[in-house]
């Protein structure tokens, strides 16, 4: 294939890549046999501030100097003069006397800033864990079965101390502050709502005693 034919194909690919990934994506074709004016095609040159006939990167110049075209370089890091961050790849095409490269330089500076902001936003400093349970009979039943297993007997066989323990467990889990929570527990223990409120009062008083003694 003629050199002009290869360049036309690469130019078409370069244009397509630049349009696919937008204005932050610079794509260029360089003639690595032309050290003085290697860039023969470029799209979104504002990313690195280059234009047709300009020089290629330090890595590119080193590649020319060392005559290395045995492998492509994919997804490496680079920076611009003003400090923007680039993710780069370069692909070599060498045949007979032709030595061309297709370079892709994506400016991800804004993404890096957003990533840093998100990391700070979602950073967890406390080791405390919490769960948000759905307000449903199924959730209540699951918690109820947990505490019944701990106590070791069904509600109708529990004494007062055990019933208070059950109420305290469910209160700690937040069940009693939901709508109809008190009623659900009262029905489970086959006692009145008034009795549940008395249990909660006892639990509150016990907590005060513990806090005073600490």
Count of domains forming the chain: 2
- Alpha-carbon distance 56 to 46, whole Å? 14
Residue of 102, 21, 116 lying closest to 60 (CA atoms): 102
- Alpha-carbon distance 30 to 191, whole Å? 85
Are residue 106 and residue 152 in the same domain, yes or no? Answer: no
- Is the pLDDT confidence value at 132 over 70? no
The predicted-structure confidence for 87-129, as pLDDT tens digits, reads as follows: 999 998 887 788 899 999 999 999 999 988 988 888 877 777 6
CATH number, domain of 83, equals: 3.30.450.20
DSSP conformation class of 102? E
The terminus-to-terminus CA distance of the chain in angstroms comes to: 88
- Alpha-carbon distance 187 to 135, whole Å? 17
Segments forming the whole domain that contains residue 149: 137-204
Is 175 part of a structural domain of the chain?
yes
Query: What pTM did the predictor assign?
Result: 0.58
- Alpha-carbon distance 61 to 78, whole Å? 14
Are residue 92 and residue 13 in the same domain, yes or no? Answer: yes
Are residue 106 and residue 146 in the same domain, yes or no? Answer: no
Least confident of 22-31, 39-48, 91-100, 159-168: 91-100
Is 70 part of a structural domain of the chain?
yes
Please state, rounded to an integer, the average pLDDT across all residues of the chain.
85
Predicted confidence band at 210 (pLDDT cuts at 50, 70, 90)?
confident
């Amino acid at each position: 294939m003629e050199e002009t034919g290869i360049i036309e194909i690469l130019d078409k690919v370069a244009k397509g890549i630049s349009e696919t990934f937008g204005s932050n994506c610079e794509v260029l074709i360089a003639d690595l046999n032309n050290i003085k004016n290697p860039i023969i095609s470029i799209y979104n040159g504002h990313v690195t501030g280059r234009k047709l006939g300009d020089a290629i990167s330090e890595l590119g110049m080193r590649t020319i100097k060392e005559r290395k075209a045995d492998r492509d370089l994919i997804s490496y890091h680079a920076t611009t003069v003003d400090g923007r961050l680039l993710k780069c790849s370069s692909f070599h095409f060498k045949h007979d006397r032709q030595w061309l490269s297709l370079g892709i330089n994506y400016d991800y500076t804004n993404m890096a800033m957003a990533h840093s902001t998100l990391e700070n936003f979602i950073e967890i400093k406390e080791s405390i864990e919490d769960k948000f349970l759905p307000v449903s009979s199924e959730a209540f039943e699951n918690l109820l079965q947990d505490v019944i297993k701990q106590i070791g007997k069904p509600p109708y066989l529990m004494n007062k101390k055990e019933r208070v323990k059950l109420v305290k467990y469910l209160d700690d889990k937040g069940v009693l502050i939901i709508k109809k929570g008190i009623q659900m527990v009262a029905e489970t223990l086959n006692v009145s709502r008034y009795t549940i409120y008395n249990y909660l009062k006892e639990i509150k008083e016990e907590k005060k005693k513990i806090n005073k003694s600490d």
